[in-house]
Amino acid sequence: MRQATVYIDREALQYNLNRVKQLAPTAQIVSMVKANAYGHGVKDCLAALGDTDAFGVACLEEALEIRELGYQQPITLIEGIFSEDEMQVVVENNIECVVHHQQQLDWLRAHKARYIGKNLKVWVKLNSGMNRLGFKVPEIIEVINSLKAEGFTCVLAMHFANADADHPLNEQQKSQFLQVKQACAPVMGSCCNSAAIYKWPELNFDFVRPGIMLYGASPFADKSVHDLDLKPVMTFSAEIIALNHIQAGEHVGYGSTFTADKEMNLAIVSIGYGDGYPRAFPKQNYVSIKGQATRVIGRVAMDMIAIDVTGIDAPLGTEVELWGKDRLVDDVAEANGTIGYELLCRLSPRPIRK
């Protein structure tokens, strides 16, 4: 069988969840498992995230998958519902909604009695300058205060545009959040993703929403998962399926873009963009063989790559780590000009999941 495999380390996931608990001991943890748990596979991840207080997903289908797997924790739809008929399903399955515009408020109010009857919280989204979703100040104050007066339990929710960086917008977002929280007191609050959990412990409030850190990738460009004391959860690997010895001047792969400058040993590995491994690498990319970094040479094809194994003991069948504990996904992403999040999410269905 072609070996292109995704292995999920559940203990690493539990370890990372515990890191969230250490960093935000008084907050409840809403584990973000949208996009099939950032490409890791929701089923495996939920099994390791049993201790989480709640889950966050991007749509009703993702929430229902969690219910079908038998998990009873609260689930938040971070973009709310997309049409009124979803409200029925939401209430039946004890799912909580973000509301970020007037139409969603109308839908919520139309189902008020059942929603409140199930003790479901409403997550009211503040647009404090990211300008994606939410009500602005001062409108949101009016929205939350009237929802409270109608009997709803509200959580003031916000998302940082630059939690991973120093940016002047951070101060504006923080101060608007605090202003609204005060004007609507008492109201629960939630504004921290992974980066914010690390950076602003004072903003953990009632619910933190870790995503990428759970999976053992870094939200920061300048801090590795080792710096953050996180463990990579996914190991993406493949096998050496052919070996070639080439002379100086010979080329490798499509477009013959690589030319050997000396004699070398090449290995062909059964991975390609058909598996979700990126094709374009503006910077030199590497894979790891038993902890030893070796370069990828020539173009990435749909099913294969070539690597330099000169001086490395790597017979046929040797396992090659594309990303995982040795070759960090964040470093592959950097060479690819993107972020770890994207590489993890865009794996194709082809690799075998172990």
For 296, residues 6+ apart whose C-beta sits below 8 A from its C-beta are: 281, 284, 285, 286, 287, 305, 306, 307
Q: Does 193 bind ligand PLP (CB under 6 A)?
A: yes
- Residue 210 interacts with ligand PLP (CB under 6 A): yes or no: yes
* Smaller CB separation from ligand PLP, 40 or 209: 209
Does the protein bind ligand PLP through residue 232 (CB under 6 A)? Answer: no
Whichever of 46 and 307 has its CB closer to ligand PLP, that residue is: 46
Question: What are φ and ψ of residue 103, in 5° steps?
Answer: -60, -40
Residue 218 within binding range of ligand PLP, rule CB under 6 A:
no
Residue 67 burial (CB count, 10 A): 15
Q: What is the pairing mode between strands 75-77 and 95-99?
A: parallel
Question: How far is 121 from 142, CA to CA, in rounded Å?
Answer: 17
- Asked whether position 39 contacts ligand PLP by CB under 6 A, the answer is no
Residue 34 known to be catalytic: yes
Pairwise CA distance, residues 210 & 341, whole Å = 13
- Single out the segment in contact with ligand PLP by CB under 6 A; choices: 43-51, 211-219, 272-280, 311-319: 211-219
Count of residues in the chain: 354
* Among the listed residues 39, 80, 219, 278, the single contact to ligand PLP using CB under 6 A: 219
- Catalytic member of 34, 121, 181, 199: 34
The label of the residue with tokens 């794996």 reads 347
Determine which residue in the list 32, 264, 322, 343 makes contact with ligand PLP, applying CB under 6 A: 32
Number of residues that bind ligand PLP (CB under 6 A): 13
- C-beta closer to ligand PLP: residue 65 or 319: 65
Query: Contacting ligand PLP (CB under 6 A), which of 40, 174, 209, 299?
Result: 209
**Would you say 306 and 268 are in contact if contact means Cβ atoms under 8 Å apart?**
yes
Contact predicate 273/240, CB 8 Å:
no
Rounded to the nearest whole angstrom, what is the least distance from the CB of residue 276 to ligand PLP in the complex? 19
CA–CA separation, 138 vs 135, rounded Å?
A: 8
Minimum distance from residue 50 beta carbon to ligand PLP (Å): 19
Are 283 and 232 a contacting pair, CB within 8 Å? no
> 230, 198, 237, 203: which is closest to 215 by C-alpha?
230
Cis previous bond, 349, omega within 30: no
| Contact status: 233 vs ligand PLP (CB under 6 A) | no
Residue 288 touching ligand PLP (CB under 6 A):
no
Give yes or no for residue 5 binding ligand PLP (CB under 6 A).
Answer: no
Q: How far is the CB of 10 from ligand PLP (least distance, A)?
A: 19
Least Cβ distance, residue 28 to ligand PLP (angstroms): 14
Give the nearest distance from C-beta 230 to ligand PLP in angstroms.
11
Question: C-alpha angle 156/341/190, rounded to 5°?
Answer: 10
Please identify, using beta-carbon distances, which residue of 17 and 306 lies nearer to ligand PLP.
Answer: 17
Residues 71 to 100: which contact ligand PLP by CB under 6 A?
A: 78
Q: Does the protein bind ligand PLP through residue 212 (CB under 6 A)?
A: yes
Show Cβ contacts of residue 292 under 8 Å, excluding neighbours closer than 6 positions. 312
Active-site position among 21, 112, 136, 254: 254
Contact yes or no for 137/180 (Cβ under 8 A): yes
- The question of whether 71 is a catalytic residue gets the answer no
The amino acid that residue 124 corresponds to is: V
Asked if 156 interacts with ligand PLP (CB under 6 A), we say: no
Q: Is 301 exposed, middle or buried (0-12, 13-18, 19+ CB in 10 A)?
A: middle
Answer yes or no whether residue 194 interacts with ligand PLP by CB under 6 A.
yes
Nearer to ligand PLP, 246 or 347 (CB): 347
Residues that bind ligand PLP in the complex, under the rule CB under 6 A: 32, 34, 78, 159, 193-195, 209-213, 219
**What positions carry a catalytic annotation?**
34, 254
